Amino acid sequence: MRPTESMPTAGRLIAALLLGGLAYYASSIVIAIWPVEYNFGRFREVCGLTGVLMGWRVIGRRLGRGVMAGIGAGLTGLGAMLFWLFLLLSFNEMIGRSLDLRYTGPFEALNGMFEIGYSWALNIMHPRLWYLLVGGSMAVGLISELFSPKEKS
């Protein structure tokens, strides 16, 4: 890792803010299309914060290598954000179900966590949401690339 790779830059800040805003807005769409009555709690805030972190850490690290690499960084940031969101949110739901004594052991609870994540992935399979996420993350990577310092070859 280069010493300057961990330095704050305008590109990292832009990537963090834009991906966080995209995640916050997309979470509003998820709440609107969810098929059952569900208490989402701080769902929007968790999604927005995860987007900020992934924009800073994942997209921000991959900037400065050109326009196509910036778009790829945006898609990579989207993948990392979705991975961590599914993991965090399904873990939270699994803990709630464990406290209601729905599982007999830790392995059944862990299996339940993956079943929860899978069912949630099926619930958000809507074209409008995926167009927003994929197109928005590509735009985040492109805009962030425009504000990032260029690498020297």
Task: Please state the pTM of the whole predicted model.
Answer: 0.89
> Is the pLDDT reported for residue 46 higher than 90?
yes
Mean pLDDT (the chain) is: 90
* One-letter amino acid of 32: A
CB-based contacts of 52, cutoff 8 Å, min separation 6: 16, 17, 19, 20
pLDDT tier at 87, thresholds 50, 70, 90: very high
Q: What are the b/e assignments for 62-86, b being 16+ CB within 10 Å?
A: bbbeeeebbbbbbbbbbebbbebbb
> Is the pLDDT reported for residue 2 higher than 60?
no
Cα Rg, the chain, nearest whole Å? 17
Q: Domain map of the chain by residue range?
A: 10-146
Predicted pLDDT at 5: 64
